[in-house]
C-alpha cells in the first residue's frame, strides 16, 4: 500500500504520489483509464485546474471519479480568466472572478465541494487580502474545504501564510531544483503547511530516459546548471540508481519525499503504463540516508534569485 500523509492541519490524508491531471489529454476513454489505474494503485490525490484544456480536463476528471468521490482528495486551481470558446486567458485574482471560477469548476467536476482550492499563481502586486476574503467566504459557503496556493515565489507564499490558514503550497521541487530548501521547506513546516511538489522527475531527466531527455531539454542548462553540469547530475542519478538496483525515478522520489513537510509528489501521466512505472518506482525507493552520499557529486546549492521576501 502507498503511504498517506496529512495535508497541513486538515483532516485530509493524501497519497505520497498524486496524479497530476494536466497531461491526461482530451480522449475521455484514455484519460479515464489513467485515472482508474492511479486509483487502483493507491493514489487518492488528483490535481487538476480550470485552465487545463479550458475546463475540459475538469469535466473528464469529474466523470471518471463519479461514484467514488468520497475515497478521493480532489484539488483544482483558479485565477486564470478565460471564456469558453475564446482564445487566450489573463490573470485575474479578483474576488468576483475567483468566486465565479470556483462555481464553474464545481459544475464541470460534478461536485458539491472541492477538497482543496488553489490560487493558480500569483504576484506580490495582487490584491492578496481580496483573494483571502474570497477563499474564506467560499469556505463558509461550503464550496471549498481547504485553501491552497500554487506558487514558486517566496514573497507571495509568505504573504498568504501570514494572512490566512492555507493547507498546502504546490511548488516545483526536485534534485535539479532545490531552491525550496533554502527558505521554504523549513518555513512551511514550522507553519504546518504541506508542500505538494511538482516536477520531481526533472522534466524527465531524472528517469531512466534521463540522457535522452537531457539531449532534448537540458543542453542549454537549467537554473544554476549549465548544460554539462546538468548532464553530470543526470549521470550521477543514473549511477546511483544502478548501484542500488533501482530506477532513477526511485532515487528522485526518495530525495523529494525526504523533507517531512512534503506530503505528495504530483506526477503527470499520459498512459496507464506511465502510472504503473511511477508506482513501481515509488515502492522501490531506496532509503535516502543510503543514497545521499552518492548524490553529492554534481549537486549545487540553489537559491531563489527573484521574488524573495
- Are 201 and 249 in contact by the 8 Å Cβ rule? The answer is yes
Phi then psi for residue 65, to 5 deg, are -100, 0
Is residue 54 classed exposed, middle or buried when 0-12, 13-18 and 19+ CB atoms within 10 A define those classes? middle
Buried b (16+ CB within 10 A) or exposed e, 209-227: ebeebbeeebeeebebbee
The active-site residue out of 52, 117, 225, 282 is 52
52 is a catalytic site residue: yes
- Are 48 and 76 in contact by the 8 Å Cβ rule? The answer is yes
C-alpha closest to that of 163 among 138, 188, 141, 130:
130
- Sequence-distant (6+) residues with CB within 8 A of 45 are 14, 15, 18, 19, 72, 73, 75, 264, 266
- Sequence-distant (6+) residues with CB within 8 A of 150 are 77, 118, 119, 120, 121, 169, 170, 171
Over its C-alpha atoms, the chain yields an Rg (Å, rounded) of 19
Beta bridge partners of 232: none
Cα 176 to its chain centre, rounded Å, is 16
- Supply the residues annotated as catalytic: 52
Amino acid at each position: 500500500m502507498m503511504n498517506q500523509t496529512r495535508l497541513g492541519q486538515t483532516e485530509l490524508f493524501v497519497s505520497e504520489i498524486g496524479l497530476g491531471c494536466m497531461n491526461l489529454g482530451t480522449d475521455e476513454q484514455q484519460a479515464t483509464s489513467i485515472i482508474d489505474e492511479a486509483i487502483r494503485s493507491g493514489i487518492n490525490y488528483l490535481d487538476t485546474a480550470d485552465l487545463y484544456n479550458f475546463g475540459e480536463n475538469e469535466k473528464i476528471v469529474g466523470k471518471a471519479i463519479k461514484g467514488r468521490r468520497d475515497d478521493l482528495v480532489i484539488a483544482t486551481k483558479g485565477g486564470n480568466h478565460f471564456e469558453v470558446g475564446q482564445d487566450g486567458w489573463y490573470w485575474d485574482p479578483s474576488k468576483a472572478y475567483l468566486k465565479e471560477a470556483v462555481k464553474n469548476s464545481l459544475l464541470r467536476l460534478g461536485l458539491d465541494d472541492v477538497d482543496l482550492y488553489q490560487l493558480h499563481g500569483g504576484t506580490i502586486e495582487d490584491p492578496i487580502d481580496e483573494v483571502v476574503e474570497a477563499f474564506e467566504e467560499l469556505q463558509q459557503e461550503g464550496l471549498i474545504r481547504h485553501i491552497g496556493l500554487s506558487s514558486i515565489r517566496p514573497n507571495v507564499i509568505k504573504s498568504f501564510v501570514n494572512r490566512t490558514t492555507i493547507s498546502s503550497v504546490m511548488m516545483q521541487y526536485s534534485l535539479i531544483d532545490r531552491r525550496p530548501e533554502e527558505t521554504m521547506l523549513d518555513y512551511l513546516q514550522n507553519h504546518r503547511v504541506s508542500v505538494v511538489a511538482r516536477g520531481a522527475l526533472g522534466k524527465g531527466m531524472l528517469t531512466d530516459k534521463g540522457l535522452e531527455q537531457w539531449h532534448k531539454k537540458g543542453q542549454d542548462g537549467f537554473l544554476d546548471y549549465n548544460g554539462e553540469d546538468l548532464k553530470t547530475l543526470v549521470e550521477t542519478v543514473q549511477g546511483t540508481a544502478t548501484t542500488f538496483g533501482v530506477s532513477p525515478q526511485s532515487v528522485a522520489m526518495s530525495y523529494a519525499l525526504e523533507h517531512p513537510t512534503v506530503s505528495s509528489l504530483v506526477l503527470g501521466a499520459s498512459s496507464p503504463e506511465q502510472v504503473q512505472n511511477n508506482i513501481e518506482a515509488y515502492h522501490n525507493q531506496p532509503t535516502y540516508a543510503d543514497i545521499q552520499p552518492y548524490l553529492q557529486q554534481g549537486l549545487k546549492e540553489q537559491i531563489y534569485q527573484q521574488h524573495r521576501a
